[in-house]
Structure 1
Amino acid sequence: MTMIKWVLLASLTAALAVPFPRTSSAGEFVDVLDTDAMPSALASHGMLTGITQAGSRLFAVGQRGHILYSDDNGQGWQQAYVPVSSHLVAVHFPTAQQGWAVGHDGVVLHSSDAGQTWTRQLDGRQVGPNLLAYYQEQLADQPDNPDLQARVADAQRMIEEGADKPFLDVWFESERVGYIVGAFNLILRTDDGGIHWTPWLDRTDNPTALNLYAIRPIGDDLFIAGEQGLVLKLDRARGRFVSTPTPYNGSFFGITGKPGIVLVFGLRGNVYRSTDSGGSWIKVDLGLPLSVTASSVTADGRIVLVTQAGHVLVSSDDGASFHLQPNTALAPVAAAHVASGGSLVLAGTRGLRLIPLE
């Protein structure tokens, strides 16, 4: 199994990610980075791994470059034009019109028309050269810096390995400033809406290059969650993501909460809660040993967690405790979002489904 597939499997916690052939009908190699996503009437029933909302429109992304949007709170979905067929993992819109989606093969897509059409801003063929040029320039000023020497060597190795560089999450604070994160501490920042991307691999307290699975703001703070209990918080004054140690050494797949309340969640039902901006963490007992893969927050402030199997848990006390919502049909879940109408939209290996939230 390649690392790319394994990273996606980890983010879905063992939900199957089935690859598709990269050959044409004549048997010639066809690069998914140069192949438009194929329109499909069944796209909403395929594997989808990311959900977000911008204005009144919902968006979902997933396998083979599929991006779908809904204008009726998830009742019906339309497929957008996408210029690649790489698996997509996450999507975010800082405004109703401007959005970004990321995924395998180092893909970064941008939409300026409320998600109806998308253009490619970055792919894995450019990521390695981007990193190499950036760290070579820094090394020229600090030729004896061992960290920069290692960064240059890593970038050269990345170029040799090819385009398979998965991004696993994306978040923009405005139409111009945003971050993308991925495998092996891969993190880039843009200050011009994705025209240029600056590597931030040297600006994280992640010396062993653990995978970065999620990036999310909670209140005024910006957090990253990853492997081996890794939680990072942006120190804006230093321009660096600093470690906020947790008591858990397994993978965290996501972050949720609201101002004053931060929750990180991951493998085997492990959920930890902080009320001091990540200064300390207390374990939340869910009563389920299943990995938590998705979350959302309702308009009235309830926090929702969803397990890999599809169990829906709801907290009415700011994440201190959760109760299991009964009578929920189970199916593998990778992402969740509470729509404007109040229903919970779930995405996973069996596509999109809408359930009432009690």
Structure 2
Amino acid sequence: MGLNNIYRRLALACLLASVQGVSQAAAYVDVLDLPAKASALAVSSPLSGTARAGERLVAVGQRGHIVYSDDGGAHWQQAQVPVSADLNAVSFANATQGWAVGGDGVVLHSIDAGATWNKQLDGRQIGALLVKHYQALADAEPDNPQWPALVAEGERLTQQGADKPLLDVWFANERTGYVVGVFNLILRTDDGGQSWTPFQDRTDNPQGFHLNAIASTGDALYIAGEQGLLLKWDQASQRFAAIATPYQGSFFGVLGKPGEVLVFGLRGNVLRSGDGGASWTALDSGLHVSITAGVVDAQGNYRLFTQGARMLVSQGSGAQMRLVQQAEPVPVTGATRAGNGSLLVVGSRGVRTLSVE
């Protein structure tokens, strides 16, 4: 074969490779722009969070899957979702208005009890949002060193791209709510998600620990995070103030009732306070695996679930915990009340309705 033929074949191979590369690049669609695919397996795929929308049950999970049930979990339908990013949590302010959050800083909103969703925010916008907000404060207070540091944080988020997940969401009503995530990422809205205000300067979290969960006990709002971080909303100072706890490991959840709060996390650790966090009692869970979800059942009892498929029940005040055997134990990442006093739990195997005594 002559050199000319060899060169022609090499050139053709390079051209084909180039065309194939362009074709593959054109075929790529960001998960933030790719609608979740309809799947008969969505209800049994990994799900991370669940909530009630009136009498409807809603669960969210991987690849943008959101499913809902109108008969207590017996039958499920898949929602229309505009992204295929993994979703971590969901919250409903009332029977129709709900929000879901997840990977790549995505925030979704529903006005029809979770049947359809639209995107309000994602990680491609959050960095610029921080820069704009804190630059305005820096211009107003040029001698305050806090603002340039937060502007720089926004610039880093912008440069790094949409890769910072939001881990939880909570709404007080259809207008006011919070989303929280990694590295002290926290935003507040007072118009139902039409606009968002960065709240990094309103948290006592100078080391930028992850904010894993946000929840209300009915009379107080708490955020649980890494390395013993527990924050409580202080109305007077308009900030999330740090509360000292006797455990320095990560907390994964917080729940409670008026006058009482439980926080739980790594290695079976559960703490209880009956005085708004001024003092804490460590509860003996008898476990050494992480507690990943919790719910207050219809009888007012606390039920905590572990990554090792165990369930703890705390009667009444929550001062004592006991292990309860499950007929079909599975790891649980989220739980909410279902109908007839039962619970809906979600995890790596999808949804499951749990009858409770």
* Shorter-chain TM-score above 0.5: yes
State the shift of 1:352 in Å: 1.0
State the shift of 1:303 in Å: 0.9
Separation in 2, partners of 1:304, 1:328: 16
State the shift of 1:25 in Å: 9.2
Give the equivalent residue in structure 2 for 1:272: 271
State the shift of 1:139 in Å: 0.4
State the shift of 1:287 in Å: 0.7
The total of aligned residue pairs comes to: 336
1:308-351 deviation per Cα after TM superposition (whole angstroms, max 9, x unaligned): 12211111132111121124322221111221222222111111
1:278-324 deviation per Cα after TM superposition (whole angstroms, max 9, x unaligned): 11111000111111001111122111111112211111132111121
Give the equivalent residue in structure 1 for 2:320: 321
State the shift of 1:183 in Å: 0.3
User: After the TM superposition, which parts of structure 1 deviate over 4 Å for at least 4 consecutive aligned residues?
Assistant: 23-27
> Which structure exhibits the higher relative contact order, with contacts defined as CA atoms closer than 8 Å and separated by 6 or more residues?
1
Q: Which runs of 5+ in 1 are unaligned?
A: 1-22
**Cα separation, partners in 2 of 1:270 and 1:145, compared to 1, 3 Å:** same
Separation in 1, partners of 2:186, 2:277: 21
Pairwise mapping of residues 187-202 of structure 1 onto structure 2 (< 5 A)? Answer: 187-202=186-201
Separation in 1, partners of 2:227, 2:134: 27
SS of the residue aligned with 1:153?
A: helix
Separation in 1, partners of 2:68, 2:22: 29
Aligned residue identity for 2:242: S
Q: Which runs of 5+ in 2 are unaligned?
A: 1-20
SS of the residue aligned with 1:32?
A: coil
Give the equivalent residue in structure 2 for 1:19: none
Aligned residue identity for 1:42: L
Aligned residue identity for 1:57: R
Separation in 2, partners of 1:61, 1:327: 23
Give the equivalent residue in structure 1 for 2:119: 120
Separation in 1, partners of 2:309, 2:75: 21
Aligned residue identity for 1:295: G
8 Å CA contact 2:64, 2:87 repeated in 1: yes
8 Å CA contact 2:293, 2:334 repeated in 1: yes
Separation in 2, partners of 1:268, 1:344: 24
Separation in 2, partners of 1:214, 1:155: 22
Give the equivalent residue in structure 2 for 1:87: 86
1:29 aligns with 2:28: yes
Taking structure 2 as the reference length, the TM-score comes to: 0.92
Give the equivalent residue in structure 2 for 1:235: 234
Give the equivalent residue in structure 1 for 2:15: none
Separation in 2, partners of 1:219, 1:116: 28
SS of the residue aligned with 1:318?
A: coil
Separation in 1, partners of 2:73, 2:320: 28
Separation in 2, partners of 1:257, 1:353: 23
1:77-114 deviation per Cα after TM superposition (whole angstroms, max 9, x unaligned): 11000000000000000110100000011100000111
Give the equivalent residue in structure 1 for 2:210: 211
Give the equivalent residue in structure 1 for 2:163: 164
Separation in 1, partners of 2:149, 2:286: 44
SS of the residue aligned with 1:34?
A: coil
State the shift of 1:34 in Å: 0.6
SS of the residue aligned with 1:131?
A: helix
Give the equivalent residue in structure 2 for 1:331: 330
SS of the residue aligned with 1:33?
A: coil
Pairwise mapping of residues 224-303 of structure 1 onto structure 2 (< 5 A)? Answer: 224-303=223-302
8 Å CA contact 1:24, 1:30 repeated in 2: no
8 Å CA contact 2:219, 2:259 repeated in 1: no
Give the equivalent residue in structure 2 for 1:40: 39
State the shift of 1:26 in Å: 4.5
Separation in 2, partners of 1:90, 1:101: 6
Give the equivalent residue in structure 2 for 1:111: 110
8 Å CA contact 2:228, 2:250 repeated in 1: yes
State the shift of 1:144 in Å: 2.4
Aligned residue identity for 2:244: P
Aligned residue identity for 2:253: G
